[in-house]
Amino acid sequence: MFRAITRRAVPCLLALSLPAVPAVAADDATNVVVVTASRTPLPAAAAPAAVSLIDRETIDRRQSAFAADLLRDVPGVTVSRSGSIGAQTQLRIRGSEANHLLVLIDGVEANDPAGNDEFGFEQLTTADIERIELVRGPQSALWGSDALAGVLNIVTRQPGDDFTARAFAEGGAFDTWYAGGSAGGRIGGARVGLSASQLDSNGTNASRQGGEEDGYRNRSGTLTVAGSPREALDLSFVARYTDASKEFDGIDSGSVDGDGNFIPGTGLPSDDDSRSDTQYGYVRAGGSLTLFDGAWTQRLNAAWTTTDTDTLDRDSVGSTTAADKYGLYYQSSLRLTGNTDTGTGQTLTAAIDQEWTEFRQRGQVLGPFFPGGEPFDPNQDQDLRNTGLVAEYLARPIDPLVVTLAARHDLNSEFDDVTTWRAAGAWTFAGPATRVRASYATGQKAPTFVERFGFYANQFVGNPLLKPETSRGWELGLDQPFADGRVTASATWFHANLEDEINGLVFDPSAGAFTARNLDGDSRRRGVEVGLTANPAASLRLSASYTYTDSRQPDALTGEMIREVRRPKHAGSLNAAYQLAGGRADVSANLAYVGSRSDFFFDPLTFAQSTVRLDDYLLADVAVSYRVTSTLTAYARVENLLDEDYEDVYGFNTPGLGAYAGLRASFGGDGR
């Protein structure tokens, strides 16, 4: 009864609760600096874009093991998980594709070139994350192809001058164990930090039938070294490594019995022994030099992203996909007049981004499947080079106004040169500090290695003739504080058109598998993000979010505009955080609502495509913690408190109710 009432009531409450998680979701916007809304750091209150922040305090209070669970609450974000703990997890921003979001980890581009340029959010645990910064809207003019819909910046915990050590351990549902630790401080003339964590879970059954559990293991570690050999020079080195293994259920496409007769399958996931083992590595080394009393700043960084995934499918067919991306990045920022951080002034920034990417695929040669056809050979090596030339002008002609103009020209070894640009501004009115922001931008996304050359037996064959996707869009936002700053509301209205959208689910009868093609006409994404935060008392913090998204694309056969799959029209969240026992205890309650969506289903015999409906759902989580001593905290949480039965992807079950408990300890530093 409670669940039925709540399902009907919560969407209405969300719609009436005023704007959602404001442009800045955590911290005081006047003190926080964001680093991806411009090529130069800006105070969050001056950023002419929709920005959401999740700080370490929020991570500890919510206790979520995976960053994706926290990002569900951010306006404009849709999360799709294909099954159990550790299953493929995609984030879509404002109805865009999962590979339209650039993910940075400590300044390293972390999107996987061998994984369709998507970031594997199922691998991102929260043990060593200090802050998450999300900038929504087209950012290609600043950050290139992967940033067509936004930029997500992950900042790990940085070592300080004082020695600090932390450790935690927890266990709970689905035989899940999660533990880790970190230590950092000054060694000689450098600040050095090291962290490591491991998560193991038996998981749950992803398929609708059977009882086989799909397990998951994740080991992650980060090394950071930073120092200033001279006053104006800062140097840093960071290396992060993740080793993950997961079991998953493949699609039942049919089988052949002992007499050679074909038995049609269900076209849905079914229990099997498919598994994948993945290694991710991210390395960055570089520094910054500041001259002329801070007027001229130069940055030079070298970065390396490496990924390697070994997959064994239900038919015991093994394959490997791997990639290496090397980058050299130089940026020069010159403050022409004044100081753009604190008053009026102008800053001109120029940057050169040089990237080399290599893609490798290995597997069994199969076929031919059709008379006169060639065997399918997945074994290949591909490469791509790209040079990005960036210019940005940032100005405060008068103190309440921030204006930024940016342009980028990309020279690609495989595609025509492309230029993208962005114009944005924000005006803060006196008195109630009302802020109006607006932007117009173009973007582009180059076809991925997988879309062009990928091969997966009986499933997908790449199309090397694909064209880049291009976009143009605008947004208009309002941020409004009330009650002497104790309440902050925001709203953002956005609209974007995408041309030559790549559809990776086009069946090619000649190949007997799916392929990728550019769609004719424009796809359209539009909607409204609204949010609210309130501090009615020193011990109580409330927040709410609501997003309306209308995301449509041309039908590949008829050309009519249809809703894009796995994008809900309505989504939102409510959160309450309360401190008691003199600040020693914290209670956090969270509701996340996801409206109904569509998805595709393919007949396993004819490959005919049909549209199916995914029901709406409501997730409730509760977390409590108690500081036993100044160094030791006990905590517990319940996820999916209502034991909601839901699917983010058609046919893939997700975990039900689960309870977890643990301890965390900290020594030295600020005690966090």
Query: Which phi and psi angles does 452 have, rounded to 5°?
Result: -90, -40
Return the pLDDT at 249.
87
CB atoms closer than 10 angstroms to residue 401: 15
Query: Which phi and psi angles does 27 have, rounded to 5°?
Result: 75, 170
Helix, strand, coil percent values for the chain (each to nearest 5): 10, 55, 35
The two tokens of residue 646 are: 């839901």
What is each CA distance from 190 to 160, 184, 221, 236, in whole angstroms?
9, 11, 19, 9
Q: Cα dihedral sign for 43, 14, 63, 539? A: positive
Domain boundaries, the chain: 2-266+288-668
The DSSP code for 615 is P
Query: Which phi and psi angles does 68 have, rounded to 5°?
Result: -60, -35
Q: Report the chain (672 residues): mean pLDDT per 10 consecutive residues.
A: 39 35 41 86 87 94 96 95 94 96 96 96 95 95 95 95 96 97 93 97 90 93 95 95 93 72 80 91 97 93 97 78 97 82 78 97 76 73 97 89 96 96 91 88 96 82 94 95 89 96 86 86 95 92 96 86 94 96 93 95 82 96 96 97 95 95 88 52
What is each CA distance from 2 to 309, 593, 595, in whole angstroms?
44, 15, 18
Tell me the one-letter amino acid at 134: L
The two tokens of residue 443 are: 């973007």
The two tokens of residue 501 are: 């959208």
At 16, is the secondary structure helix, strand, or coil?
helix
**Helix and strand tally (H, E) in the chain?**
5, 40
Rounded Cα distance, 41 and 669, in Å? 26
At 670, is the secondary structure helix, strand, or coil?
coil
The DSSP code for 249 is P
Contact predicate 85/201, CB 8 Å = yes
Rounded Cα distance, 630 and 672, in Å? 10
Q: Which helix (H) or strand (E) holds 321?
A: strand 318-338
Residues 6+ apart with CB under 8 A from 260: none
At 388, is the secondary structure helix, strand, or coil?
strand
Residues 6+ apart with CB under 8 A from 256: 262, 263
CB atoms closer than 10 angstroms to residue 405: 15
CA angle 114, 120, 124 (to 5 degrees): 140
Contact predicate 62/541, CB 8 Å = no
What is 64-100 written as a DSSP string?
-SBHHHHHTTSTTEEEEE-SSTTS-EEEEETT--GGG
What are the strands, taking DSSP E only, across 188-273? 190-201, 216-230, 233-248, 255-256, 262-263
The two tokens of residue 5 are: 């009432």
CA angle 67, 69, 70 (to 5 degrees): 70
The two tokens of residue 266 are: 């269900």
Contact predicate 144/408, CB 8 Å = yes
The two tokens of residue 580 are: 């008691």
CATH of domain 2-266+288-668: 2.40.170.20
Q: Which helix (H) or strand (E) holds 550?
A: strand 540-554
Return the pLDDT at 668.
85
Rounded Cα distance, 182 and 169, in Å? 12
Strand partners, 518: 502
Return the pLDDT at 266.
85
Q: Find where tokens 């694309």 sit.
A: 553
Rounded Cα distance, 58 and 67, in Å? 11
Query: Which phi and psi angles does 538 have, rounded to 5°?
Result: -60, -25
Give CA torsion, residues 141, 142, 146, 147, to 10 deg: -90
